[in-house]
A and B are shown apart, each in its own frame.
Chain A
């Protein structure tokens, strides 16, 4: 190396510079992430750009008119049907994230504080439902909530109702129940992780300073596990807004969500630009809500002190 460098200084210089470049941390970092980065670029960023581009165009029967227009957004935001679908999607996903977190917290708390030596076994048990397909899990809710389903026959057997109730299936409540169950594990895990990080001596210190179990939970354990609660809520909320399969299978006429409308625009209705505008609108609203949630919870946490 030194001999070559002495023999031809110019060559040595470039080689040294190239070596320095290859050894610099940012370059090495980019090199490491480049396969994933390219993958994400081609399969995520490009399609999104295509969708955004489409949302400003117009469908002209079989061809696409590429003159810039905001007409699709006007329809997406003002047409009552799309507005209602968007509201319903948001209502369903926020309700689902609320119930999922509320139901997941006690489970995560139990595993973290009382799991003892069997913590990993408990976590393993929680993943069991994922061994079957999501479709099968949704279908099993159909069996439970259906007209001749488990719940109806059970209630009739007990004499609570005289004839099968139709209020159980094919509406937004059915969608909420199914999604809450389906996303439970995704909420349990982040809450569990943040509870694991709570120093147990802090809980003892709270007791020592006069707090009973409930007060020490509210004043120490809950605030310190808030990051897990926030991430659990977001992890559930963001994907459920755009859920398509669940409303399709158990939602019926009253449980239709925005994703079903988007699918229709890209399919039967064959209006890609409108479908694209609906997608972009949903995406932006979800982003706003996610940001707002983080902000509100942070403020609440600060005020709760």
Chain B
């Protein structure tokens, strides 16, 4: 494996991984269906989706553990066809960590270096450096069986990073950790990626993990890529209801298209009245109906006599307390489904009695049109 110069964060526009209409079939079942994707150099890229959506299959094909039925994958401009896993410029952090149980931490980290036939001190230096990167200095002599889950995860990371791969593949690396450690590792992983500047490809089913760490996310369903965009774009402007739902709560509102032109749509809704909204890029008109969505936290309770330019009135029918926030279910006359509203508790949203009539403020920009 060629040595990669150690540079600071190098996110460029240069494509690092190019996936061109890759399909992977198992008999009649298509685990991956005509997926195309370009991952840029130095990018932290996430493949997000529910289990069975094909994200792990795609990752394993990049690593070389599986081969596309059709289509092509190239890494750093070089086609990966016929190149076995051991000769690819990629390294993987496995979901189970796959720490060699018969070796200690140092030997695990040095495993891949043995083939490079480095001089003894150089090998030792690189192992030390990798252990320091993941804050495991001093634990080199421990056996894998003597480590905690979080430490094993760090060993797996160091073992892959020490190889200085062009691409680091992470298969649900945080799923086995408890919540607190997981959140800590999210921050650390992101920081580490920025420091080493290697392209990271992360597979996860946890939308918060993907949102918190990635430069860009590909959301996948049933073997197909539904949307590729930045975390903010994915969250705020999901292309369809499925993506919107997977990324968190979303209120869907039925609308009637009044006017459609180049970049915008004018629609009539029963609860929100007439709204002008951006037209999504891939908007396909399906008769005269459209679906709008608004996230629960984009609706704000209006207190006392406060007014807003855009508001809807309704009645609280349910209240759920979540510590720092409260979920209110608010019935709006004319809307077939009540709206779900997330309000922080600093103004006493947790004290609003069920049955109260309230008014909600919203920004019409937060109402986004999407495919069904």
Please tell me if B102 contacts chain A, counting CB pairs below 8 Å. Answer: yes
The closest CB in chain A to the CB of B110 belongs to A209
Please tell me if A207 contacts chain B, counting CB pairs below 8 Å. Answer: yes
User: In angstroms, how far is the closest chain A Cβ from the Cβ of B201?
Assistant: 14
A205 & B86 in contact (Cβ 8 Å cutoff): no
Stretch binding the partner chain, chosen from A104-112, A133-141, A159-167, A196-204: A196-204
- Chain A residues, Cβ within 8 Å of B91: 208-209
**Contact size range, A:** 20 to 34
A202 & B98 in contact (Cβ 8 Å cutoff): yes
The closest CB in chain A to the CB of B163 belongs to A209
- Chain A residues, Cβ within 8 Å of B84: 207, 212
A210-B86, A212-B86 given; A205·B107 CB < 8 A:
no
Please tell me if A305 contacts chain B, counting CB pairs below 8 Å. Answer: yes
Contact with A along B90-121 (1 / 0, CB 8 A): 11101010101111000100011001000000
Q: How far is the CA of A204 from the CA of B66 in the complex (A)?
A: 11
Q: How far is the CA of A32 from the CA of B355 in the complex (A)?
A: 68
Q: How far is the CA of A208 from the CA of B108 in the complex (A)?
A: 13
Please tell me if A211 contacts chain B, counting CB pairs below 8 Å. Answer: yes
Q: How far is the CA of A223 from the CA of B65 in the complex (A)?
A: 23
Q: Apart from A210-B115, A212-B84, A224-B101, what are 14 other A-B pairs with CB-CB below 8 Å? A: A199-B98, A201-B96, A204-B92, A204-B94, A205-B98, A208-B85, A208-B90, A209-B86, A209-B91, A209-B160, A212-B86, A219-B111, A223-B102, A301-B102
A209-B159, A210-B163, A212-B86 given; A204·B65 CB < 8 A:
yes
- Chain B residues, Cβ within 8 Å of A224: 101-102
A202-B100, A223-B102 given; A211·B115 CB < 8 A:
yes
Q: How many A-B residue pairs have CB under 8 A?
A: 62
The closest CB in chain A to the CB of B165 belongs to A208
| Interface residue tally for chain B (C-beta within 8 Å) | 25
User: In angstroms, how far is the closest chain B Cβ from the Cβ of A2?
Assistant: 48
A199-B96, A209-B159 given; A204·B85 CB < 8 A:
yes
- Chain B residues, Cβ within 8 Å of A223: 102
Please tell me if B354 contacts chain A, counting CB pairs below 8 Å. Answer: no
The closest CB in chain B to the CB of A206 belongs to B111
Q: 4 smallest A-B Cβ distances: which pairs?
A: A209-B112, A205-B98, A201-B98, A207-B85
Contact with A along B331-371 (1 / 0, CB 8 A): 00000000000000000000000000000000000000000
User: Can you sample 20 A-B contacts with CB below 8 Å?
Assistant: A201-B94, A201-B96, A202-B98, A202-B101, A204-B92, A204-B98, A205-B98, A207-B64, A208-B85, A208-B160, A209-B91, A209-B111, A209-B115, A210-B86, A210-B112, A211-B86, A212-B84, A215-B115, A219-B111, A305-B107
